[in-house]
Amino acid sequence: MTTSDTPVETRDSQVVQRDRVVIRFAGDSGDGMQLTGDRFTSETANFGNDLSTLPNFPAEIRAPSGTLPGVSSFQLHFANYDILTPGDRPDVLVAMNPAALKANIADLPQGGVLIVNTDEFTKRNLTKVGYEANPLEDDSLEDRYAVHGVAMATLTRGALEETGLSKKDAERSKNMFALGLLSWMYHRPSESTERFLREKFAKRPDLAEANILAFRAGHAYGETTEAFAVTYEVAPAKLAPGTYRQITGNTALSYGLVAAGRTTGLPVFLGSYPITPASDILHELSKHKAFGVTTFQAEDEISGVGAALGAAFGGALGVTTTSGPGVALKAETVGLGVALELPLLVIDVQRGGPSTGLPTKTEQADLLQAMFGRNGEAPLPIIAPCTPGDCFAAAVEAAAIAVKYRTPVMVLSDGALANGSEPWKVPDADSLQPVDPGFATEPNAPDGSGEFWPYLRDQDTLARPWAIPGTAGLEHRIGGLEKADGRGSISYDPDNHDRMVRLRQAKIDGIEVPDLVVDDPHGDADMLVIGWGSTYGPINAAARRVRTLGHHVATVQIRNLNPMPANLGEVLGSYSTVLCPEMNLGQLAMLLRAKHLVDVKSYTKVAGLPFGAEELQDVFLDYLTGTHPHATHAATNGAQA
């Protein structure tokens, strides 16, 4: 055991080139697996690979230590080409304890690399998760996997002996040991991790040094022991030219909101109540007050959206961030926003439901809630970003629509996007399209009375004027009661109500959204796979796979879910089979069937995890080859060719 302070003679290890690798770090909730994964991701981003990540952790902050429910994992897929998913199954599994091994081993394919922290494989820990014998001591693992037992805690403790840290504190750095070892195995640059640790522990330089020592020890362990004969290189990916950084969906969404304040010229006001997995947006925005962002942590979900709507009445860009349960609570206020016709952004980072459901897992079962989850006819625009980086553009676009059309807009992110990360081509801040809020400044009554009519609509957009308090001569009262078309005073007139309901709907229906762009490289596919939100990655990864097998398949992503793109009907009508995979029980499929009378096939899974590319590949193939029980066509262009 040598630390890297001492020069060592590097063994000649075999270097193998790989196109792509999937690594999963798994351990106890308290083992720091998310941090470990995050750092490996950062190193990988710095190296220039394309990447996609899947953090997976329990809702409990510290579930009982060493138990199956307490297992936390972080999966990272990186490659020398552009990839779309965090990977179905790991090539390398790092298991920090018996629980992590037991919970994850089934996902490791035969021949996969298994790195185990042997120190935790005590009788007590094994019993805790139901192992009668130590699986490291029989051949059950050796027969199937390339197993590397490493006494990580012991080695870390040894490396930190001279720091004077207690045994317990020293062992806490074992995750950095694991990171160092994996960084060596995959030739990751380590400067950024060391810099990160120094910054993170700026107030505790002793801990910073301890973690760096452990990291270097892991690196040196790989370099000097005979155990690891092979290291791997994954060359940088050839992405489109530009400047890139690594970003998670929640960070991208937060930046999008900051940027929206810039594009609209409005102060951003966030009213929010903490809820998983949306809280990180509140955390992130609270750091950016220098951009004129105000963050208000409200007493509840309703207050969060109420304050945002109040700020919008005053001329701010009102935003509220939440997850499904919060959307339910905010519904009445969002409906008020629809009636008031004020700009408002409602960000729903979807999680498993119903009720509290699976707080830390992903799902996309709030689509119908977003569409219809308010009393009365209360339509609003909905945008669903499809990758972590796309959350930025979705927020900017949502703000532009909200301001232009004076309407609440819902953004549907989800847990996989929120916590997942990818390389993001950083936009040029100066090139973001400005949006003129166009506040009303003059009386507008068409009868020349000099009055202000708050519901006199713009003929093109059907948007009403936004007159903010402080504007002399435009004093007016608005509310949730039905208003007279134009004049805006309370009206119970039957014809007026019918007209106002239709006007509000027509305004939303008339919002300009870009046409769908179908991805059909062969140009003659008979089957279209349609997706929304985070299923973009697995759908398109699966499509690539079946195309490689010689099949022709088209894919399309609906980013604007309300109103839907104008060419949607035409696109749907152009394929004999339309398949819609969703992480719900077929909500988009239901909408497409209802609106377009197309026999959309639904493939659904609601497991709290994203689809795997292989899983969807099999589903696509079943349809393409006509073996799926619901397949109406055996049409395949390329399979038999």
287-306 binders of other proteins (CB under 8 A): 288-294, 296, 298-300, 302-306
Of residues 545 through 564, those in contact with other proteins by CB under 8 A are none
Q: One-letter amino acid identity for 331?
A: A
CB of 199 to other proteins, least distance (A): 9
CB of 453 to other proteins, least distance (A): 12
Show Cβ contacts of residue 625 under 8 Å, excluding neighbours closer than 6 positions. Answer: 634, 636, 639
R_g of the chain computed on alpha carbons: 27
Q: Pick one of 9, 139, 162, 430: the residue that binds other proteins (CB under 8 A).
A: 430
- Which two three-digit tokens encode residue 12? 């000649």
C-alpha pair distances (Å), 12 with each of 222, 228, 435: 12, 11, 59
Q: What is the dihedral of CA 320, 324, 330, 336, to 10 degrees?
A: 90
Of residues 315 through 334, those in contact with other proteins by CB under 8 A are 315-316, 318, 332-333
Of residues 488 through 517, those in contact with other proteins by CB under 8 A are 489-490
Q: Which is nearer to other proteins, 299 or 460 (CB)?
A: 299
Of residues 267 through 286, those in contact with other proteins by CB under 8 A are 267, 269, 271
CB of 125 to other proteins, least distance (A): 37
Of residues 138 through 157, those in contact with other proteins by CB under 8 A are none
CB of 298 to other proteins, least distance (A): 7
Report the alpha-carbon angle 617-618-622, nearest 5.
115
| Residue 72 found at the interface with other proteins (CB under 8 A) | no
CB of 418 to other proteins, least distance (A): 17
Q: Which is nearer to other proteins, 36 or 364 (CB)?
A: 36
| Residue 202 found at the interface with other proteins (CB under 8 A) | no
- Which two three-digit tokens encode residue 207? 């801990």
CB of 540 to other proteins, least distance (A): 21
Q: One-letter amino acid identity for 230?
A: V
* CA 551 – CA 231 distance, rounded (Å): 35
Of residues 454 through 493, those in contact with other proteins by CB under 8 A are 469-481, 489-490
DSSP reduced 3-state for 203: coil
Q: What is the dihedral of CA 357, 35, 388, 282, to 10 degrees?
A: 70
Count the Cβ atoms, other than its own, within 10 Å of residue 18.
14
Q: Which is nearer to other proteins, 29 or 246 (CB)?
A: 246
CB of 425 to other proteins, least distance (A): 9
Binding part of the chain for other proteins, among 266-274, 399-407, 504-512, 565-573 by CB under 8 A, reads 266-274
Q: Pick one of 26, 108, 247, 508: the residue that binds other proteins (CB under 8 A).
A: 247
Q: Pick one of 71, 160, 340, 513: the residue that binds other proteins (CB under 8 A).
A: 340
- Spatial contact of 47 and 41, defined as CB atoms under 8 Å apart: no
* CA 615 – CA 379 distance, rounded (Å): 35
Please tell me the number of Cα atoms within 13 Å of 427 on its side-chain side.
15
Of residues 227 through 246, those in contact with other proteins by CB under 8 A are 238-246
CB of 617 to other proteins, least distance (A): 29
Sign of CA dihedral 409, 413, 419, 421: negative
Show Cβ contacts of residue 372 under 8 Å, excluding neighbours closer than 6 positions. Answer: none
- Spatial contact of 215 and 42, defined as CB atoms under 8 Å apart: no
Q: Pick one of 258, 338, 365, 624: the residue that binds other proteins (CB under 8 A).
A: 258
CB of 214 to other proteins, least distance (A): 22
- Spatial contact of 334 and 306, defined as CB atoms under 8 Å apart: no
- Spatial contact of 401 and 512, defined as CB atoms under 8 Å apart: no
Q: Which is nearer to other proteins, 278 or 309 (CB)?
A: 309
Number of chain residues interacting with other proteins (CB under 8 A):
73
Of residues 566 through 625, those in contact with other proteins by CB under 8 A are none
- Spatial contact of 564 and 594, defined as CB atoms under 8 Å apart: no
Of residues 175 through 194, those in contact with other proteins by CB under 8 A are 192
Of residues 7 through 66, those in contact with other proteins by CB under 8 A are 42, 45-46, 48
C-alpha pair distances (Å), 601 with each of 326, 554, 567, 571, 615: 31, 15, 20, 15, 16
Q: Pick one of 40, 273, 313, 455: the residue that binds other proteins (CB under 8 A).
A: 313
Binding part of the chain for other proteins, among 163-171, 204-212, 215-223, 253-261 by CB under 8 A, reads 253-261
